[in-house]
A and B are shown apart, each in its own frame.
Chain A
Amino acid sequence: MTLALEVTGLTYCFGQKRALDEVSFAVERTSFTALLGPNGAGKTTFFSLATRLFDAPAGTIRIFGRDVTRHPGEALARLGVVFQDPTLDLDLSVVQNLRYAAALHGLKPRLAAERIERELARFGLFEQRHQKARRLNGGHRRRIEIARALMHEPALLLLDEPTVGLDTPTRSQLVALVHQLCHEEGIAVLWTTHLVDELNDEGDRVVLLQRGRVQAQGTVPEVLAAAGAADLHSIFGPAPALLP
């Protein structure tokens, strides 16, 4: 069966610095996979390549069998994206933001209106639908961004550290929500994070990325065994001292 995401030998350099080094991993259909790595591991660089903000000189990224570089239209059509930085247009209302995203994927207005209603109901944002994004709190903005990524019913959802800047209860809610989407809607999820408490030990798969290389991948116990760590909290090794 075709994989939702298949990354093979992906390498990318910024000048002399190798941000990604022969990265290979896969995300299976309807699975929740966490791309786990500390700051500077190369997660956001990978994200930029997977969403084709720029092309990699070496290696391939396939989304449901479609090469992102060779067939970007077909690959990106099946991809929903939630960026690390907030990307809502703050001067537009919630509905206007969603309508814009739907149109970028070519959804006809009537279909877009149906999807907007469905997603607003799913994310409990119906009352805020006419508010400008600027007036919403961080948690609500994130929900809208996830709703926006679902407008064209993607089969693979990429989320780049989506909980950055959110309080603990909101983080937990978002993690649970996306797990629910994965299990109930059958959407494959790649969730990049450096926060190990966002993982579900029982069902999630993990790709451990450090200094641009995949150190281990598999289920949580498999990754712990490969990394020689007792638990996920110690998987990155001791933190560097902040003070001399």
Chain B
Amino acid sequence: MTWLICLKAIVWRELLRFLNQPSRLISALVRPLIWLLVFAAGFRAALGLAIAPPYDTYIPYGVYVVPGLVGMVQLFNAMQSSLSMVYDREMGSMRLLLTSPLPRWYLISCKLLAGIVVSVVQVYAFLAVAWLCGDDAPPLGYVTVLPALIANGVMLGALGLLLSSLIRQLENFAGVMNFVVFPLFFLSTALYPLWKIREGSEIVADICALNPFTYGVEMIRFGLYGQWNGLATLVVLTVGPLLLAGAILGYSPSRGLIRRKAA
């Protein structure tokens, strides 16, 4: 019961902070919507997309890119949570959480779950706008995509937590954007299919195929159409727990890197 009360409080606080900052929701929506409404309009003419699963017919680029943009919402939310963790650590409010009598691994997992809840809220807000803009995912797809969103949220949220345990100062966060977020996003199938990338560069396509975010996006893409991609699921469900284990280690009192900042 104690554990559940603590979990509810951490999720509640994260949601409350999110709702207290309407600009956060707006910016979370504006970024993918620019891609959907502006870039997709431009790419539509330039890119021809063949029929490939999960789609059973030719689709416009605007439809193809929606799962990738869902991944983008989750990726940026994870980085926002990570930034917030670094900020909390620098400002001291992180200490309150870490001095709870519950185990450290549990507190970190609660923090991760809270971030996933916020990211799922953001994703559904984006999917609602995308639907209004003409996205044609089947109605049931909005339900079947949920497990993929949670699994991808675990993977990306755990990455964010791991990064927050490694970053020593808030100022270093710009480097995360350059060296983690942008490569993860652009070297994936979020914006273009793998076969299309391979037409341009074998090396880039190989890198994309090694990028776990690619599999997160594909899991969402298949989920959104009520289908299941075994390889994507396997990769996401393997990488997520590994990253979470790294994050828990990063916040461990005996081995963690928090000590660098804490004193």
Contacts and interface: CB of A to CB of B under 8 A. Distances in A.
A96 interface: yes
Contacts of B259: 48, 53-54
Interface stretch (B2-10, B178-186, B230-238): B2-10
Interface string B222-260: 000000000000000000000000000000011010110
How many B residues touch the partner, as a band? 20 to 34
A106 interface: yes
Contacts, number: 106
A30 B97 CA distance: 26
Contacts of A75: 101
Interface string B95-126: 11111111100000000000000000000000
Contacts of B100: 76, 104-105
B139 interface: no
Nearest to A132: B20
Contact of B95 (A69, A87, A103, A107): A87
Interface string A88-108: 110110001001110111111
B31 interface: no
Contacts of A88: 93
Interface stretch (A77-85, A166-174, A197-205, A234-242): A77-85
Contact of A53 (B91, B95, B103): B95
A14 B96 CA distance: 23
Contacts of B253: 52-55, 69, 72
Contacts of B102: 73, 104, 106
How many A residues touch the partner, as a band? 35 or more
Interface string A134-153: 00000000000000100000
A44 interface: yes
Contacts of A103: 5-6, 8-10
A48 B263 contact: yes
A53 B262 contact: yes
Contacts of A131: none
Given A91-B17, A91-B21, A105-B100, A85 B5 contact: no
B98 A87 contact: no
B16 interface: yes
Interface in B1-46: 1-3, 5-6, 8-10, 12-13, 16-17, 20-21
Given A45-B263, A96-B16, A101-B96, A107 B101 contact: no
Given A77-B101, A91-B20, A99 B9 contact: yes
A187 B67 CA distance: 56
23 contacts: A48-B263, A52-B98, A53-B95, A53-B99, A53-B258, A55-B253, A72-B103, A74-B101, A75-B101, A76-B99, A83-B92, A83-B96, A85-B95, A87-B92, A91-B20, A92-B16, A96-B13, A100-B9, A104-B97, A104-B100, A106-B3, A107-B5, A148-B96
Interface of A: 14, 19, 44-45, 48, 51-55, 69, 72-77, 79, 81, 83-89, 91-92, 96, 99-101, 103-109, 148
Q: Which 4 A-B pairs have the closest CB atoms?
A: A106-B2, A103-B9, A85-B92, A54-B259
